[in-house]
Structure 1
């Protein structure tokens, strides 16, 4: 059983850590999350409930232990961890959003375009102020595939609270869902909502 220790971590980090492990579980498999913060406990319980994971919490001397079970069957809508973070101030309103429309940057030579996009994502991960969201649609969803030279930087940013949003229609079109290594597969309604609420949208 995977055990994730989120003690000492502030929201949304515990939810992001839990989501990353939950996505790797087999149907029926149980995971355990440790937290020492009552608000994080409430956030985790709400988060796992939305995932239909039937969460159970136990109080121990070292904090709370939350147990969640991956559903055996049935469709579960993609869940954004930050939406369950009661203490988070990171919302799309008043923050910039990066929108990636391709796995290439610019028009012209594809090899150069791939090199430029890798450089952009790696540089973005090193910025002092990160975007609230990175939206990937069309060919840009391929940037989140396991083994790509852009995945590590995307995971780094997600661990720092950036929401990586992947167009579900695009993922299905390219038939790459089993290969996705990070991010939340979403729909065009949510993407439109994020873009409309952003203070600024950057298209590299």
Structure 2
């Protein structure tokens, strides 16, 4: 009997990450339940990218996405790269990339959505195998590491895994947030600049 995974109520990319972990553990025949069509589409793309077949059954607004091993399916997913890029199996790759956070939200527009996206970004990379060398916070970005409680928990997990987290001390002082810093190291422009120079690439959010 195929294993049943309950991912109802969870927004993407969490269902994708749950399914990817199952595949990484050697299980290629399972069912994952979700309650939104976006998750269904992303799970089907994951199955396709892993050489697996998938089918969907809907009942009472709950979608059962069935993953099956199918050696004849080899097409590679392209459209889902943004969701899956941070959870690809890169266990043997040495991480030399860094993330620069210069504002409290991801993108422009709705503030609540931007904060939620920031939280989900750190969750996604913390669940992956290719972790960044460092995460750098400056200007408005220091609010993420002091005020976004869920993001802070994911950042603590990343720090425990060896990711260096540097936070601009001048920026903390400017916003009066020195006492709220519970993860990372207070740093300066010199150290943050050097960390960028030592990275093969710097991703700016």
Structure 2 length normalisation: TM-score? 0.52
Question: Does structure 2 retain, via aligned residues, the 8 Å contact 1:146–1:181?
Answer: no
Partner of 1:155: 156
1:145 corresponding residue in structure 2? 146
CA apart distance, 1:186:
0.3
1:146 is displaced (CA, Å) by: 6.4
- Counting only pairs closer than 5 Å after superposition, residues 40-119 of structure 1 correspond to structure 2 as 95-119=96-120
Question: 1:109: how far off?
Answer: 1.2
Change (3 A) 1:94 1:148: closer
Structure 1 CA distance, aligned partners of 2:143 and 2:182? 10
Deviation per CA, 1:112-168, whole angstroms, max 9, x where unpaired? 111111111111111101011000111211222267111110000000110110011
User: Quick check: 1:170 aligned with 2:171?
Assistant: yes
Q: C-alpha distance in 1, partners of 2:116/2:127?
A: 17
Residue 133 of structure 2 corresponds to residue 124 of structure 1:
no
Distance 1:128 1:104 in 2: 24
RCO higher in 1 or 2 (8 Å CA, sep ≥ 6)?
Answer: 1
Higher relative helix content: 2
Secondary structure of 2:149's counterpart equals coil
- Displacement, 1:176? 0.7
Instruction: Say what the alpha-carbon RMSD is for the aligned residues.
Output: 1.7
Contact 2:119 2:148 in 1 (8 A): no
User: What is the total number of aligned residue pairs between the two structures?
Assistant: 112
Please list the CA deviations of residues 74-93 of structure 1 after superposition, one character each: whole Å capped at 9, or x if unmatched: xxxxxxxxxxxxxxxxxxx9
Q: What TM-score do you get using the length of structure 1 for normalisation?
A: 0.52
Gaps of 5+ in 2: 1-93
Q: Distance in 2 between matches of 1:171 and 1:146?
A: 12
SS of equivalent to 2:165: strand
Residue 201 of structure 1: SS of its match in structure 2? strand
Q: Name the residue aligned to 2:183.
A: 182
Q: Give, in whole Å, the separation in 1 of the partners of 2:95 and 2:123.
A: 24
